[in-house]
Structure 1
Amino acid sequence: MPSTATKRYCFQLTVRPELLDEYIARHTPVWPEMLAEIAAAGRRNYSLFLGDGGRLIGYYETDDDEAARAYLANSEVAARWEAEMGRFFVGLEGRPDQAATPLTEIFNLHDQLTAAQAAATATENESTAS
């Protein structure tokens, strides 16, 4: 059974350097119907960051990424968008929204602060119980 807790996802792609200006223009703005499909899929707080050499980092949050991916894979709007976007990327097999290289999260400030606060509270409770 999929978890209902919000999870963070990050991915990396490389935009062809000769197409950077056009890639940026295509996202300024994205088609309204594509924005609606991303939201309907359950992805939130979605951002793309462009670095040197065409390095593209994407980030989003969702409660069920498997369901979000399936929704977008079956979306006619997303299929049209991804068909147009595929030519912008280096070394990509398949649709960009389905084939991007995922990155592993190794640190999150909120999660670690929450864990540290919980540990401190537990230690405090143990001290007062003794």
Structure 2
Amino acid sequence: MTRVCFELRIKPELLDEYVARHSPVWPEMLAEIAAAGRRNYSLFVAEGGRLIGYYETDDDTAAQAYLTASPIAARWEAEMSRFFVGLEARPDEAATPLTEIFHLADQLAAASTTSAEGDAL
């Protein structure tokens, strides 16, 4: 499984409308996200329009290809593109990926393995 986190900037003057457009998202777009293999998908917004997104997937390249080919996702992304600062492509293709530097479960598992190896000596 891959964890993906990304950042975009929403135009501050359109932030309220952007939030409203996600309450709720079109049912057919929700179905496409799920069909693409993305799960545990969340968006977070901060003052000034900073948007952070997170999802999990088994194959992000395949998920992105599925959504790129989807007419429903193309329509959604076309409608969403006006909300973002400085994008030259679809928002789902132009988001800045963030590098994961810490994950609790991974480190707990590694610490448990190290501890178990130490106990075996």
- 1:14 correspondence with 2:12: no
Following the alignment from structure 1 to structure 2, what is the Cα–Cα distance between the partners of residues 19 and 36? 26
Show the 5 A alignment for 1:23-34: 23-34=18-29
- 1:56 correspondence with 2:33: no
TM-score normalised to structure 2 length: 0.99
CA-atom RMSD, angstroms? 0.5
Please name the residue that 1:65 is paired with. 60
Show the 5 A alignment for 1:84-95: 84-95=79-90
Letter in 1 for 2:103: N
Structure 2 unaligned regions, length at least 5: none
Following the alignment from structure 1 to structure 2, what is the Cα–Cα distance between the partners of residues 46 and 116? 28
- 1:80 correspondence with 2:75: yes
Following the alignment from structure 1 to structure 2, what is the Cα–Cα distance between the partners of residues 51 and 93? 23
Following the alignment from structure 1 to structure 2, what is the Cα–Cα distance between the partners of residues 110 and 92? 34
Please name the residue that 2:94 is paired with. 99
Report the Cα offset of residue 93 of structure 1: 1.2
Count of aligned residue pairs for this structure pair: 121
Following the alignment from structure 2 to structure 1, what is the Cα–Cα distance between the partners of residues 2 and 70? 22
Structure 1 unaligned regions, length at least 5: 1-5
1:77 is paired with a residue whose SS is helix
Determine what percentage of the aligned residue pairs are the same residue. Answer: 72
Which of 10, 30, 33 is residue 35 of structure 1 equivalent to?
30
TM-score normalised to structure 1 length: 0.92
Q: Runs ≥4 in structure 1, deviation > 4 angstroms?
A: none
Letter in 1 for 2:6: F
Report the Cα offset of residue 54 of structure 1: 0.2
Report the Cα offset of residue 7 of structure 1: 1.0
2:55 is paired with a residue whose SS is strand
